[in-house]
C-alpha cells in the first residue's frame, strides 16, 4: 500500500509514528509543510521537516515535541551576548548543525528536496520525506499593535507573541509562485490513500493557498483522505482558533470540514466528543466517522491511523474527476525580528 501524508510539525510527526505502526509494510511518502520555514541568523530553518525527521529518527525531544533531545544552547547564548536576536526562537546547538548543513547545501545549489534527502540519510526516518516545495514560502501574519497594522513572520506570531493578539490576515508569501517539489505530484498520483491531519497552524485556509489539481483533470486512482483532529470546539493546541478566525472559519470540526469541502475531502474523522457533528459533515457530502483522535501515545495514534485507513478503504475504487492537493510554495529574505549588534 502506498500512502501519502501531508504533514505539519509536532502533530504530524506523532501521527506518522502511529501510522508506521498501523501499516508497517506501507510505502509512506510524507509531503512536509514548509510554510512555517524561516531564516534565522542567516540560516534556513525548516521546523516541520525537522520535527518529522527527528521524531521518526529517534532524535526528538519527546517532552516538548520539537527540537533535539539532550540539547544545549551555547550558540544561542553567545549570539545573545553579541546582541544578535531573535532570542525567542529556541535553536539548540544540535539543531543548529542541521540548519548549517541545510544552508550550506542550499547555497551550493542543491534544492531543498535534495538537502532533505541528504539529512534523512542520517536519520533514516523510515518514510520518504519530501518538502511540499523547493520554492520559498513563508507565512506572514498581519496584526495590529497600538492601532498600527504590521506583518510578522508566522513564527514570531506563534512563538514570540503566542497568538496573544488577533490575526487580521494570514499571508502565505511566495505561495502563488511556488511549484510542488519533485516527486510530490507523482507520489500523490500513485498513492492508494492520501491522508492529512488538521491543516498546520500556519496554514489554516485552503482558500489562501493555491489549490492545484495534481492529475491535471484526469480521473484519479481513488483516494480517501483522513483525520482532522480538531477535538470539541477548540483545537487541541489551543491557539489555532486565532488563526482560523483570521480566515473566517469557526474552530469546530463541522465548520472546518465545510471549509475544506468536497473538492478536497472524501472522508473526515472527528473525535468521539464531536459525534454530534457527523451528520452535519456528511450532509456536506463528506463521509464522516467519530473515533478517538487524541494521540495520547503511539498505540492510541496507531488505532486512529487504522480508522483513517479503514475510512479510506470505503473509497477504494471510487473514481473522482479531480481532486485537489495543497501544493505550496520563494520570496525575498525577510528574517523575522533580526537585530544587529549596535
Q: With respect to a second copy, which residue has the nearer C-beta, 43 or 269?
A: 43
- Does 105 sit near a second copy (CB under 8 A)? yes
Stretch of 25-33, 105-113, 169-177, 284-292 lying at the interface with a second copy (CB under 8 A): 105-113
From the list 8-16, 100-108, 139-147, 275-283, the region that binds a second copy by CB under 8 A is 100-108
Q: Is 342 in the site for a second copy (CB under 8 A)?
A: yes
* Closer of 64 and 104 to a second copy (Cβ): 104
User: What does the alpha-carbon distance between residue 105 and residue 101 come to, in Å, rounded to a whole number?
Assistant: 6
Q: Assess contact for 198 and 11: CB atoms under 8 A.
A: yes
Q: How far apart are CA 192 and CA 1, in angstroms?
A: 6
C-beta of 107 vs 216, nearer to a second copy? 107
Q: How far is CA 270 from CA 116, 230, 281, 288, in A?
A: 32, 7, 9, 7
Contact 28, 220 (CB under 8 A): no
Spatial CA neighbour of 204 closest among 160, 164, 237: 237
**Which of 52, 119, 228, 305 forms a contact with a second copy (CB under 8 A)?**
119
Shortest distance (Å) from residue 77 CB to a second copy: 8
Closest separation between CB of residue 190 and a second copy, Å? Answer: 27
Q: Stretches 88-96, 132-140, 170-178, 274-282: which one binds a second copy (CB under 8 A)?
A: 88-96
Q: Given the complex with a second copy, which of 41 and 209 has the nearer CB atom?
A: 41
Q: Give rounded-to-5 percent helix, strand, coil for the chain.
A: 35, 20, 45
Based on the shown chain and the rule CB under 8 A, indicate whether residue 332 belongs to the binding site for a second copy.
no
Which part of the chain contacts a second copy (CB under 8 A), choosing from 104-112, 262-270, 272-280, 292-300? 104-112
**For the chain, how big is the Rg over CA atoms in Å?**
19
| Residues numbered 152-211 forming contacts with a second copy, rule: CB under 8 A | none
Q: Where are the alpha helices (DSSP H) in 266-331?
A: 278-283, 298-313
Task: Kindly determine how many residues on this chain lie close enough to bind a second copy according to the rule CB under 8 A.
Answer: 33
Q: Mask of contacts with a second copy, 67-86, x by CB under 8 A? A: -----x-xxx-xx-xxxx--
Instruction: Output the smallest distance, CB 49 to a second copy, in A.
Output: 14
The candidate with the shortest Cα–Cα distance to 314, out of 277, 290, 294, 287, is: 287
Please choose, out of 98-106, 246-254, 267-275, 279-287, the segment that lies near a second copy by the rule CB under 8 A.
98-106
Between residues 53 and 327, which has the closer beta carbon with respect to a second copy?
53
Segment near a second copy (CB under 8 A), from 99-107, 149-157, 225-233, 283-291? 99-107
Closest to 8 in 3D by CA, of 161, 236, 269, 252:
236
CA–CA separation, 326 vs 33, rounded Å?
10
Under 8 Å between Cβ of 66 and 9: yes
Burial (0-12, 13-18, 19+ Cβ within 10 Å), 158: buried
Applying CB under 8 A, the residues found at the interface with a second copy are 41-43, 72, 74-76, 78-79, 81-84, 93-94, 96-98, 100-101, 103-105, 107-108, 118-119, 121-122, 338, 340-342
Amino acid at each position: 500500500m502506498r500512502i501519502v501524508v501531508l504533514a505539519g510539525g509536532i502533530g504530524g510527526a506523532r501521527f506518522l509514528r502511529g501510522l508506521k505502526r498501523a501499516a508497517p509494510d506501507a510505502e509512506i511518502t510524507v509531503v512536509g509543510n514548509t510554510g512555517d520555514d524561516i531564516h534565522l541568523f542567516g540560516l534556513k530553518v525548516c521546523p516541520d521537516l525537522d520535527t518529522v525527521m527527528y521524531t521518526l529518527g529517534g532524535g526528538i525531544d519527546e517532552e516538548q515535541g520539537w527540537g533535539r533531545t539532550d540539547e544545549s544552547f551555547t550558540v544561542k547564548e553567545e549570539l545573545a551576548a553579541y546582541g544578535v536576536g531573535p532570542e525567542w526562537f529556541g535553536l539548540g546547538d544540535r539543531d543548529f548543525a542541521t540548519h548549517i548543513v541545510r544552508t550550506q547545501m542550499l547555497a551550493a545549489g542543491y534544492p531543498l528536496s535534495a538537502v532533505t534527502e541528504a539529512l534523512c540519510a542520517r536519520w533514516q526516518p523510515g518514510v520518504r520525506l519530501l518538502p511540499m516545495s523547493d520554492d520559498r514560502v513563508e507565512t506572514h501574519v498581519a496584526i495590529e499593535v497600538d492601532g498600527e497594522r504590521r506583518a510578522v513572520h508566522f513564527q514570531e506570531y506563534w512563538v514570540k507573541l503566542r497568538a496573544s493578539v488577533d490575526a487580521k490576515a494570514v499571508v502565505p508569501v511566495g505561495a502563488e509562485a511556488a511549484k510542488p517539489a519533485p516527486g510530490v505530484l507523482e507520489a500523490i498520483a500513485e498513492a492508494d490513500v492520501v491522508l492529512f491531519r488538521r491543516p498546520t497552524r500556519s496554514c489554516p485556509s485552503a482558500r489562501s493557498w493555491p489549490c492545484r489539481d495534481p492529475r491535471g483533470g484526469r480521473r484519479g486512482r481513488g483516494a480517501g483522505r483522513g483525520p482532522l483532529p480538531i477535538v470539541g470546539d477548540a483545537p487541541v493546541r489551543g491557539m489555532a482558533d486565532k488563526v482560523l478566525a483570521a480566515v473566517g472559519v469557526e474552530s469546530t470540526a463541522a465548520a472546518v470540514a465545510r471549509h475544506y469541502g468536497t473538492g478536497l475531502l472524501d472522508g473526515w474523522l472527528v473525535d468521539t466528543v464531536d459525534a454530534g457533528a457527523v451528520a452535519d459533515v456528511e450532509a456536506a457530502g463528506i463521509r464522516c466517522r467519530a473515533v478517538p483522535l487524541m494521540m495520547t501515545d503511539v498505540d492510541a495514534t496507531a488505532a486512529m491511523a487504522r480508522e483513517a485507513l479503514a475510512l479510506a478503504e470505503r473509497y477504494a475504487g471510487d473514481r473522482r474527476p479531480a481532486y485537489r492537493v495543497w501544493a505550496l510554495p520563494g520570496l525575498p529574505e525577510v528574517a523575522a525580528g533580526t537585530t544587529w549588534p549596535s
